[in-house]
């Protein structure tokens, strides 16, 4: 139960059913809420590969906008939370004779992504949620007279955890690097390939695994391979369009053990789930100095903040990490992130928002 019997049944609705990102976050939130006795169902209007990795028995729906309306009308939900899917907002309220409380959860940070807020009627919402204070500032500039409430993301500490013994440097001469994200302008994937060439020239044999892009159109995939060949790194780069979490955790640990790192070339982030998960596994970051990362991540030699457009800064950060990170730093980072972004922290904040207490 939630509070004193309030809001017993919730529905989260989102457009993209992808493996990773917001979709995986919703699965974690569903699990955390149901562990507290709070009913929670998920709705995705597109299945972009998520359905096949979902455990049986979970209340997860994949269907059209029309089906969403039907689900809301018959479901009698106490609250419906819509994430960055304005086309679902109108139906989220349910029938006139039995209205639901509707909350908007904003996870995008791009100018284009946030443009839909101009058409949102904030007065019809019961509240607006965001994952960080940084995102709150972006949203409040676009929604007048709205105070966005920060509801933290959940990090899955069961899957994303350090290797035993905090092994830092491997005898493997090939240093491993990883990049995670959509193959789009916002995530800046082309720059990751450019830095694969820089790292190869500087350190000798390296390998960069780029994860994500399952929904990328064919011309983007062609552009990816064309650029890799033009830069002379096709043998040093592997593209995996999607990876299950346990495999991703192993990849992060392998990077950490080899003296490599995760490259974060994004122009902006609302939280940085993949980067946080990498840190949980002991994998350092070479990251664009994003404002939100200063909020989410503790100061640490594991987090090398750079101007991502300055190659010499990237090179210097990579060189500093070749010998690993100080003893004890991996455990310290893991423990701090677990404390800040565990399931309990999310549930407590979420219940406070919904009950107003």
- Which of 165, 186, 195 has its CA nearest to residue 269? 186
- Taking each helix axis as running N to C, give the angle between helix 343-355 and helix 21-35, from 0 to 180 degrees, rounded to the nearest 10: 80
Q: Quote the strand ranges of 52-156, DSSP E.
A: 60-62, 79-83, 101-105, 127-130, 149-150
Cα–Cα dist 76/83, whole Å: 19
HSE-up (13 A, CA, CB side) for residue 151: 27
Indicate if 208 and 100 belong to the same structural domain.
no
Q: Judge if 210 and 288 occupy the same domain.
A: yes
Q: Is residue 3 one of the residues assigned to a domain? A: no
Task: Please give the backbone phi and psi of residue 259, each rounded to the nearest 5 degrees, phi first.
Answer: 85, 15
Q: Are residues 178 and 227 both part of a single domain?
A: yes
Q: Does 4 reside within a domain? A: no
Q: How many Cβ atoms from other residues are within 10 Å of residue 73's Cβ?
A: 14
Same domain, 118 and 230: no
- Same-domain check for residues 119 and 209: no
**Cα–Cα dist 263/190, whole Å:** 12
The number of domains in the chain is: 2
Residue ranges with strand state E in 19-95: 39-48, 60-62, 79-83
Per-residue pLDDT of the chain (357 residues; tens, 9 = 90+): 444 444 579 999 999 988 888 998 999 999 999 999 999 999 999 988 888 888 777 899 999 888 999 999 987 898 999 999 999 999 999 887 778 899 999 999 999 999 999 999 999 999 999 999 999 999 999 998 899 999 999 999 999 999 875 444 444 579 999 999 989 999 999 999 999 999 999 999 999 999 998 888 999 999 999 999 999 999 999 999 988 889 999 999 999 999 999 999 999 999 999 999 999 999 999 999 999 999 999 999 999 999 999 999 999 999 999 888 888 999 999 999 999 999 999 999 998 888 775
**pLDDT at residue 165, as a whole number:** 53
**321-353 CB burial, b ≥16 within 10 A, e <16:** beebbeeebbeebbeebeeebbbebbbeebbeb
Q: What is the largest CA-CA distance in the chain?
A: 68
- Same-domain check for residues 320 and 350: no
pLDDT at position 357:
59
Instruction: Check whether residue 28 and residue 130 sit in a common domain.
Output: yes
The residue whose two tokens read 């940084």 is 134
The residue with tokens 């990102």 is 21
**What are the structure tokens assigned to 46, written together?**
């597109």
Q: Taking the CA of residue 59 as centre, how many other CA atoms within 13 Å lie in the half-sphere pointing to its CB? A: 17
Both 96 and 220 in one domain: the answer is no
Is 188 found in the same domain as 93? no
- Same domain? For 144 and 262 the reply is no
**φ/ψ of residue 146, rounded to 5:** -115, 135
First to last CA, the chain: 15
Domain that includes residue 21, residue range: 9-153+342-355
CATH of the domain at 307: 3.40.50.2000
Are 172 and 290 contained in the same domain? yes
């Amino acid at each position: 139960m939630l509070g004193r019997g309030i809001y017993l049944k919730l529905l989260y609705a989102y457009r993209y059913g992808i493996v990773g990102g917001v979709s995986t976050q919703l699965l974690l939130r569903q699990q955390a809420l149901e562990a507290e006795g709070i009913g929670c169902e998920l709705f995705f209007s597109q299945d972009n590969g998520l359905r096949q990795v979902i455990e049986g028995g979970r209340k997860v729906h994949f269907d059209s906008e029309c089906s969403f309306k039907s689900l809301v009308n018959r479901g009698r939900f106490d609250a419906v939370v819509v994430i960055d899917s304005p086309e679902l907002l109108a139906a989220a309220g349910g029938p006139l004779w039995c209205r639901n409380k509707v909350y908007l959860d904003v996870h995008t940070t791009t100018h284009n992504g946030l443009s839909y807020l101009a058409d949102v009627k904030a007065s019809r919402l019961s509240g607006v949620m965001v994952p960080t204070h940084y995102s709150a500032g972006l949203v409040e500039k676009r929604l007048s007279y709205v105070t966005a409430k920060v509801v933290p993301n959940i990090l899955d500490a069961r899957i994303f955890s350090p290797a035993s013994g905090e092994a830092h440097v491997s005898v493997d001469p090939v240093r491993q690097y990883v990049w995670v994200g959509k193959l789009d302008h916002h995530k800046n994937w082309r720059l990751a390939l450019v830095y694969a060439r820089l790292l190869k020239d500087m350190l000798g044999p390296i390998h960069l695994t780029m994860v994500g892009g399952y929904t990328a159109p064919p011309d983007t995939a062609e552009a990816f391979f064309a650029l890799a060949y033009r830069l002379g790194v096709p043998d040093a780069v592997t593209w995996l369009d999607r990876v299950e979490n346990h495999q991703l955790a192993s990849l992060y640990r392998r990077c950490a053990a080899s003296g490599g790192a995760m490259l974060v070339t994004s122009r902006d982030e609302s939280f940085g789930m993949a980067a946080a998960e990498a840190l949980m596994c002991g994998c350092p970051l070479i990251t664009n100095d994003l404002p939100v990362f200063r909020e989410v991540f503790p100061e640490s030699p594991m987090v090398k903040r750079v101007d991502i457009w300055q190659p010499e800064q990237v090179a210097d950060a990579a060189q500093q990490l070749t010998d690993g990170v100080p003893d004890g730093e991996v455990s310290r980072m893991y423990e701090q992130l677990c404390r800040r972004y565990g399931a309990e922290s999310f549930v407590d904040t979420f219940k406070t928002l919904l009950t107003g207490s």
